[in-house]
């Protein structure tokens, strides 16, 4: 059942005792909510705890994590504000639920992947790793953050009409310049996620995350 903390409606599900100790921060796409990605999180890493907030911005009733002026054109000021607000919520949730904040892994889709990327640029120490489905550049950072060695899985569709491929390539460039250990996977697909990509993300997680100390 959803709870509220720092104004964020969210779900928190504890992980398995003696499991990986990882908490997945699930970030939904436009029009989603705190329930949407839970089955995906369970599929990706069944023993992990789950923290799944609902975006606070409403676009004609569709929840989002930050405002946009048009499709793919972001309200920069709101994006920065919402990113800091989400980071603060995550810290409060760690205190409230007692999960290990050094083992927080973001899993975002579309708008949720974009705010996850924004968290990485503005709060480079918050996340331990990230799985980004259909992400684009949230903003051009003035300074390159230090993401040395951070594992990032980025799944992109060549036929995605919402996220232009060259924009995803630019995001990949920013993350690599920041030192992230990026695994960029292109598929000949559109915006919706495919089963094959979920399986690839699952494989990447089981290869990569157990190596996190
Ligand atoms: C965004 O607004 O974050 C992107 O255009 C993707 C989306 O609509 O969710």
| The domain over range 3-207 is classified in CATH as 3.40.50.1820 | yes
Which are the catalytic amino acids?
110, 160, 191
Q: What are phi and psi of 203, to 5 degrees?
A: -65, -45
CA distances from 100 to 48, 59, 129 (A): 11, 33, 14
For the CA of 113, the closest atom of ligand 1 is 3
pTM of the model: 0.97
Residue 135 and residue 154 in contact, taking contact as beta carbons nearer than 8 Å:
yes
Alpha-carbon distance 44 to 194, whole Å?
14
Alpha-carbon distance 205 to 115, whole Å?
20
- Does the pLDDT value for residue 106 go beyond 80? yes
Alpha-carbon distance 168 to 172, whole Å?
6
Q: How confident is the model at residue 213 (pLDDT cuts 50, 70, 90)?
A: low
Question: Residue whose CA is closest, atom 1 of ligand 1?
Answer: 111
Alpha-carbon distance 22 to 49, whole Å?
6
Q: Where are the beta strands (DSSP E) in the chain?
A: 3-5, 8-13, 23-27, 49-53, 57-59, 62-64, 68-70, 73-74, 104-109, 129-133, 151-157, 181-187
Ligand 1, pocket-test mutation among 36, 156, 162, most atoms within 8 A of CB:
162
Residue 8 and residue 53 in contact, taking contact as beta carbons nearer than 8 Å:
yes
Determine the average pLDDT of the residues in 79-105. 97
What pLDDT, on the 0 to 100 scale, is given for residue 209?
A: 86
CA distances from 207 to 19, 59, 96, 159, 204 (A): 16, 38, 30, 28, 5
Q: How confident is the model at residue 182 (pLDDT cuts 50, 70, 90)?
A: very high
Q: Which residues line ligand 1 (CB under 6 A)?
A: 29-30, 68, 71-72, 110-111, 114, 162
- Does the pLDDT value for residue 43 go beyond 90? yes
């Amino acid at each position: 059942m959803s709870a509220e903390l720092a104004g964020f409606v969210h779900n928190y599900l504890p992980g398995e005792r003696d499991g990986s100790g990882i908490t997945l921060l699930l970030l939904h796409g436009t029009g989603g909510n705190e329930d949407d990605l839970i089955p995906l999180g369970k599929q990706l890493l069944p023993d992990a705890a789950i923290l799944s907030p609902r975006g606070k911005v409403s676009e004609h009733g569709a929840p989002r994590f930050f405002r946009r002026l048009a499709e793919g054109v972001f309200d920069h000021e709101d994006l920065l504000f919402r990113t800091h607000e989400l980071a603060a919520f995550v810290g409060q949730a760690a205190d409230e639920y007692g999960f290990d904040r050094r083992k927080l892994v973001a899993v975002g889709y579309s708008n949720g992947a974009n705010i996850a990327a924004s968290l990485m640029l503005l709060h480079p120490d918050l996340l331990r790793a990230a799985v980004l489905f259909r992400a684009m550049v949230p903003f051009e950072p003035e300074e390159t953050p230090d993401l040395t060695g951070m594992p990032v899985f980025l799944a992109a569709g060549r036929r995605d009409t919402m996220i232009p491929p060259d924009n995803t390539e630019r995001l990949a460039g920013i993350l690599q310049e920041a030192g992230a250990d990026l695994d960029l996977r292109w598929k000949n697909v559109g915006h919706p996620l495919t089963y094959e990509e979920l399986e690839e993300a699952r494989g990447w997680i089981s290869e990569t995350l157990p190596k996190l100390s």
